Amino acid sequence: RGDTAAMGKHFGNLARVRHVISYSLSPFEQQAFPHVLSHSVPNVARRFASQVLKVVPPLALGYLIYSWGTQEFERLKRKNPADYECDQ
C-alpha cells in the first residue's frame, strides 16, 4: 500500500464529495436477469398485441398498392397486339 500512496489515491478515493449518498450492491448478490421468462415474455406479447392492429393494416395496404402498381406498370409496358392488326 505504500507504493500506491506515492502514485496517487486509490480509485474509490479520487474525490471527496459532500452530501451525496451512494449505495452499492455486490455483483454476487445481484440477479442478472430476474424474472425474464415470467415477466418479459408476456410483456412483449402484450405490447405486440396492442400495436399489431395499428401497424399491420397500413403495411398490408401499402404492400397491396405497391404490388398492384408494379403489375400495372408491367402490363402498360407491353404493346397491345390489337393496335397493330391492320398494319400489313
| Residue 45, in any domain of the structure | yes
| Residue 40, in any domain of the structure | yes
Angle (CA) 68-72-75 rounded to 5° is 145
Backbone Cα Rg of the chain: 34
The count of residues in the chain is 88
Which residue matches cell numbers 391492320? 86
pLDDT band for position 6 (cuts 50, 70, 90): low
pLDDT above 70: residue 5: no
Which CATH number is 43's domain given?
1.20.5.210
Question: Structure pTM?
Answer: 0.51
Query: Rounded to an integer, what distance in angstroms lies between the CA atom of residue 19 and that of residue 12?
Result: 17
pLDDT above 70: residue 10: no
User: Tens digits of per-residue pLDDT, 27-82?
Assistant: 777 777 778 888 888 999 999 999 999 999 999 999 999 999 999 999 999 988 88
Domain count, the chain: 1
For 63, the domain range is 35-78
